Amino acid sequence: HADVIRKFWQHYLPRLKYHNPAIPMTVDRTQTQSGPATLTIFFTQPTNPSDPTTPLPAPTSSTSGDTAPSASYVPTERTVSINMKHRTDAEILTQFMEATKATVVEATPEELEEMRELEEQGARSQRDSARSMEVNKQRKREADMLAQARGDIAAQAA
């Protein structure tokens, strides 16, 4: 479904992109929802088996159109496709991680602290907003009663 795929795009793909900035990730959208929905992973062959960590030459180094495609680019041969229809985004992610043999990046203690603090802040702000809503409701109720009372008096005096 389009919703699940959109959630994958918005939740998981940014994290993948942040931790793998060199890997190109593109999204093609179609007008109708009825067609197939596939996630395709293109693999390149490591030319230098003794040094697999150097990034291979990409098709272009600058996508602003200034440079021509680099000559040492080798098109990919191996692809893996994952069907995304009728799967939850967590399932898509696990399949993706299996296919690419991805390593999970654990949150550092500082980041865990930050996340915990943000959650606490959110809970606190919810409590505060409930409390202030109560106060405002009370104030509004009394203002309405006063206005109604003044209206009654004016009707009686007339």
Q: Which of 51, 66, 77, 110 binds other proteins (CB under 8 A)?
A: 66
Structure-token match 């890997």, residue found:
23
**Nearer of residues 14 and 46 to other proteins, judged by Cβ:** 14
Residue 82: helix, strand or coil by DSSP?
strand
Cα–Cα distance for residue pair 79/18, rounded to 1 Å = 22
42 contacts 87 by C-beta, under 8 angstroms: no
Q: Does 13 bind other proteins (CB under 8 A)?
A: yes
- Give Cβ neighbours of residue 66 (< 8 Å, ≥ 6 apart): none
Which strand (E) or helix (H) includes residue 27?
Answer: none
Query: Whose CA is closest to 38, among 79, 4, 84?
Result: 84
x/- mask, other proteins, residues 93-122, rule CB under 8 A, reads ------------------------------
Considering only the stretches 44-52, 90-98, 125-133, 141-149, report the one whose residues sit in contact with other proteins under the rule CB under 8 A. Answer: 141-149
Residue 17 or 127: the one with the smaller Cβ distance to other proteins is 17
Q: Which range binds other proteins by CB under 8 A, 40-48, 59-67, 80-88, 95-103?
A: 59-67
Q: Least separation, in Å, of the C-beta of 13 and other proteins?
A: 5
Amino acid at 45: Q
Q: Which residues bind other proteins (CB under 8 A)?
A: 9, 13-18, 21-27, 55, 58-66, 139, 142, 145-146, 149-150, 152-153
